[in-house]
Structure 1
């Protein structure tokens, strides 16, 4: 359990680094590392749907670095549900699956401020999942991601306003 919580705290640090990024490319690159770390963390906590969703998200985010496609978003949503739904043993198991589906839409169909707003919705699902699993670092991560992401949205809006004046 201690190793799982240490990995959760590492996820916390990686997540903060992710959402301070104002460049979409760097954000997605760091998210791949975060997803892999999260997969191991959730596996150790016994969160099988969260582990699966994190692994799928790592592959998805790696592809999203090069591709921007609604078809890929739909494919990853279908994969997440097809592989994840049979593993559901408790209603809370839906949270990482829904969060993963929201993330798929975000990385393949959104950019800039919209990307970060959609990520806020996914972060809410993951926050509830992490609280349910007892993930200290994961819960801190998602709470801070909500705050950090809102800050980045604010900065991006201000930059856009300056450009438009």
Structure 2
């Protein structure tokens, strides 16, 4: 007989905030589709859709620093698809630091700021596998944050992203996309 008591804390979290947790779980599906993309343009588009949805999830969870970081990340992701300018990158870094750091009142709130910083660098300065490695490093920060604040969808999302992202990097390494001439 299987003991399902390990699900009780997860179910309790879901019952406490069903709308927020439901949006977080739906966002997970969009995010997984992003990290399955080998094409950087499609990756950015789906990543932005995910970031918008997860920002709303965090807002409903009362995690304002994470909501701010995720919302800014959506705008940053779109901008990084149009320019690789270090000045635009610096603008987004200053924006997330200037708006996020003053609101920090616990150590866990640093994790989205650090994760967003790493992801911002990657989106503006890296391509291919290096881009995904930076997203992996930032994702480790977000995974830790989401587990610590009790976000079911956010935790599952980031854990899924870590796995899917590693699998996609492996595919990219084994079978690189042909370079357009």
- Scaled by the length of structure 2, what TM-score is found? 0.86
**Number of equivalent positions:** 163
1:132 to 132, 145, 148: 148
Instruction: Report the structure, 1 or 2, having the larger helix content.
Output: 1
Secondary structure at the counterpart of residue 160 of structure 1: coil
The equivalent of 1:28 in structure 2 is: 44
Of 17, 22, 26, the match for 1:10? 26
State the distance in 2 between where 1:89 and 1:29 align: 32
Q: 1:49-105: per-residue Cα shift (whole Å, max 9, x none)?
A: 000001110110111121112222222111111110111011100011111111110
The SS at the match of 2:176 is: helix
Quote the residue 2:10 is aligned against.
Answer: none
Cα deviation, 1:16-62, whole Å, max 9, x if unaligned, reads: 10000000000000111111111110011111100000111011011
Instruction: Go from structure 1 to structure 2 and tell me whether the alpha carbon gap of 1:18 and 1:89 turns closer, same or farther (over 3 Å shift).
Output: same
Q: Which structure is larger by alpha-carbon Rg, 1 or 2?
A: 2
Equivalent residue, structure 1, for 2:5 = none
CA RMSD of aligned residues (A): 1.5
**Aligned equivalent of 2:84:** 68
Unaligned runs of 5+ in 1: none
* C-alpha distance in structure 2 between counterparts of 1:56 and 1:131, whole Å: 21
Determine the C-alpha separation between the residues in 2 that align with 1:38 and 1:161. 30
SS of residue in 1 equivalent to 2:175: helix
When the two structures are superposed, what TM-score results if normalisation uses the length of structure 1? Answer: 0.95
Partner of residue 106 from structure 2, selected from 65, 90, 98: 90
Deviation >2 Å, runs of 4+: 160-163
